[in-house]
Amino acid sequence: MSRGDGVRDGVLDKGAAPHLAGIPVHVGIIMDGNGRWATARNLPRVEGHRRGVEALRRCVRAAREIGIRYLTIYSFSSENWSRPVGEVSELLGLLRRFLRHDLAELHSANVRVRIIGQRASLARDLCLLLDEAEALTRDNTGLTLVVAFNYGSRQEIADAAAKLAADAVAGLVKPEDITPDLLESRLSTAGIPDPDLIIRTSGEQRLSNFLLWQAAYAELVFLPIYWPEFDHAALLSAVQEYARRDRRFGGVAARTGS
Ligand code: IPE
Ligand code: IPE
Ligand code: MG
């Protein structure tokens, strides 16, 4: 997917910035810094997570306004289970509340919700909620909101490899026919274009097991703010930084679209 596609496909909602060339089609966000935001204010870490949900609402609205087509948010990693039990249950509760309270509004805003990450180990009521969010919004044609929950990229790639291995054992695919495209078709993000831009808040500069395969040529922008502070201006600043980047994809000249 190129920058040109983003401009052509991006139906700019009211409040968009039409002067912006090179709107990324797919933006991934590592929503980091909730705990530090709270600690800096002498509040419990969970308060940072609660305020983080408000930032997420602002972010989804801003993404629609700017004309982004796919927004993938990293909301809980497969490594986050190592946190204190109370914090983990607060994070699970926040996802439940977000989906319960916001699903109708997301649906009426024509947002299509997709969830990636392992579901088998999640509570049954949460799984049903995730299924419901996807089923209700399946045919929506606006922003696709991909929620990465209990997600880890290495596990995702290992799962894709296991599916191909099973197909090989069943005689459906020959090992020599395995290509990057074939492996990609077995990832949980199959059918979703690669992220053009990955934003991480909080000042940390790492991917923490987020979209490792898909981010091969993503532009990375690290914002020096904590996630609860994220707003339209922050997203716009990252998109503007992206628009200034020269993406070469291994070639020698900047792509100009198409
Ligand atoms: C991001 O904020 C939320 C999740 C990882 C679920 P953190 O909780 O990681 O906040 P910091 O990084 O400790 O400040
Ligand atoms: C990454 O943040 C995971 C999410 C934002 C959901 P972490 O706070 O868990 O990452 P590390 O531990 O700083 O690498
Ligand atoms: Mg963190």
Q: What is the pLDDT of residue 253?
A: 75
196: confidence class by pLDDT, cuts 50, 70, 90: very high
Q: Is residue 214 part of a domain?
A: yes
Please count the CA atoms within 13 angstroms of the CA of 189 that sit on its side-chain side: 29
Residue 34 is among the residues annotated as catalytic for this protein? no
Q: What is the pLDDT of residue 256?
A: 55
Number of structural domains (the chain) is: 1
Residue 32 is among the residues annotated as catalytic for this protein? yes
Domain that holds residue 41: 22-152+194-244
Neighbours of ion ligand 3 (CB under 5 A): 32
21: confidence class by pLDDT, cuts 50, 70, 90: low
Q: Is residue 230 part of a domain?
A: yes
Q: Is residue 157 part of a domain?
A: no
CA 227 to ligand 2: nearest atom: 5
Domain CATH for 41: 3.40.1180.10
For residue 135, is pLDDT > 60? yes
Q: Is residue 57 part of a domain?
A: yes
Average pLDDT over residues 218-233: 98
pLDDT tens string 150-174: 999 999 999 999 999 999 999 999 9
Q: Is residue 26 part of a domain?
A: yes
Q: Is residue 16 part of a domain?
A: no
Q: How many CB atoms lie within 10 A of CB 5?
A: 16
